[in-house]
């Protein structure tokens, strides 16, 4: 059974407050990194795997996308997304990422933001995305950095609670990890950076960019907690392209 922790009332309340207040890493790091990798969206067909509150779906339409499909397993997330969306060009589909049937050569852009570390069979999703992209199409995704998912213990702190270092162990063993995030037992699937990249290459995609975003000095001045992003990368953001057809 696919994990659907976002429908847990306690988890959902905590996550929604985090996103609505923009107190996490999405606005400060993930948004700029992902948006900087997008192609021109005029007239494009877009698929968002793990669409959450529909923020990216609405943004893609504002940038000229002709149609956007958002796939989301969480009923609570979908209810919020539909309540915030008034656009016939956006369709929301209730499904797990792994279960959604991506039709061949239908999309110019496939995006997945902070969702694929919840997916057990990443390689299968990548192959489905490659099939679903049109020639010349792009796949852009972000995940929690493997340095963070390896041990899931967070910062080692001194007696005063000041972060000393981020411990990394068991990095090479790719497997399920459990941690507390708003609630106990949140499951993430740890995999290495090379696995994230090589699965794309094995599927026939071409690596376009790999980013490990960190906060700019101005952002750190406004939010001192972001200093931690300079000490260890919290996110991994990758763009890969499907080669254009050749005649």
CATH of the domain at 23: 3.40.50.150
Q: Would residue 155 count as lying in a domain?
A: no
Residue 121 lies in a domain: yes
pLDDT at 1 over 60: no
Tell me if 179 is assigned to some domain: no
Distance separating alpha carbons of residues 121 and 199, to the nearest angstrom: 11
Angle between helix axes 122-132 and 193-202 (nearest 10 degrees) is 40
User: So what's the pLDDT on residue 247?
Assistant: 43
- What is the model's pLDDT at position 179? 85
169 located within any domain? no
The count of domains in the chain is 1
Q: Looking at the DSSP assignment, which residues form a beta bridge with residue 190?
A: 175
pLDDT tens, position by position, 65-85: 999 999 999 999 999 999 999
Distance CA 197, CA 239 (A): 10
Report yes or no on 229 lying in a domain: yes
Give pLDDT, residue 78.
Answer: 96
With pLDDT > 90 as the criterion, what percentage of the chain qualifies? 75
Q: What is the pTM of this model?
A: 0.92
The overall average pLDDT reported for the chain is 92
Closest among 146, 113, 117, 137 to 33, alpha carbons compared: 113
Portion of the chain with pLDDT greater than 70, in percent: 98
The answer on pLDDT for 25 being more than 80 is no
- The pLDDT of residue 24 is 67
Whether the predicted pLDDT of 9 surpasses 90: no
- The span from the CA of 36 to the CA of 38, in Å, is 6
User: What would the pLDDT profile of 90-138 be if each residue is shown by its tens digit?
Assistant: 999 999 999 999 999 999 999 999 999 999 999 999 999 999 999 999 9
Write out the two tokens for 186: 């949140």
Residue ranges making up the domain that contains 20: 5-146+188-241
| pLDDT for 37 | 98
What number is the average pLDDT over the span 11-17?
80
CA–CA separation, 59 vs 127, rounded Å?
Answer: 26
3-state SS record for the chain? CCCCHHHCHHHHHHHHHHHHCCCCCHHHHHHHHHHCCCCCCCCCEEEEECCCCCHHHHHHHHCCCCEEEEEECCHHHHHHHHHCCCCCCEEEEECCHHHCCCCCCCEEEEEEECCHHHCCCHHHHHHHHHHHEEEEEEEEEEEECHHHHCCCCCCEECCCCCEEECCCCCCCCCEEEEEEECEEEEEEEECCHHHHHHHHHHCCCEEEEEECCCCCHHHHHHCHHHHHHHHCCCEEEEEEECCCCCC
Domain assignment of residue 159, yes or no: no
């Amino acid at each position: 059974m696919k994990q659907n922790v976002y429908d847990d009332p306690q988890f959902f309340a905590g996550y929604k407050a985090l996103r609505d207040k923009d107190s996490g890493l999405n606005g400060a790091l993930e948004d700029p990194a992902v948006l900087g990798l997008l192609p021109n969206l005029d007239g494009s067909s877009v698929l968002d795997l793990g669409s959450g509150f529909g923020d990216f779906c609405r943004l893609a339409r504002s940038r000229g996308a002709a149609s956007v499909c958002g796939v989301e397993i969480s009923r609570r997330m979908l209810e919020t997304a539909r309540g915030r969306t008034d656009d016939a060009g956006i369709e929301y589909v209730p499904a797990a990422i792994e279960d959604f049937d991506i039709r061949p050569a239908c999309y110019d852009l496939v995006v997945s933001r902070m969702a694929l570390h919840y997916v057990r069979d990443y390689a299968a999703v990548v192959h489905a995305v490659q099939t679903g992209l049109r020639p010349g199409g792009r796949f852009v995704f972000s995940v929690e950095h493997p340095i963070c998912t390896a041990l899931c213990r967070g910062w080692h702190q001194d007696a005063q609670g000041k972060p000393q270092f981020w411990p990394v162990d068991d990095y090479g063993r790719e497997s399920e990890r459990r941690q507390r995030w708003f609630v106990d037992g949140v499951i993430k699937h740890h995999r290495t950076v090379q696995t994230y990249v090589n699965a794309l290459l094995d599927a026939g995609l071409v690596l376009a960019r790999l980013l490990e975003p960190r906060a700019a000095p101005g952002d750190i001045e406004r939010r001192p907690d972001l200093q931690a992003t300079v000490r260890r990368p919290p996110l991994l953001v990758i763009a890969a392209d499907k080669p254009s057809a050749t005649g």
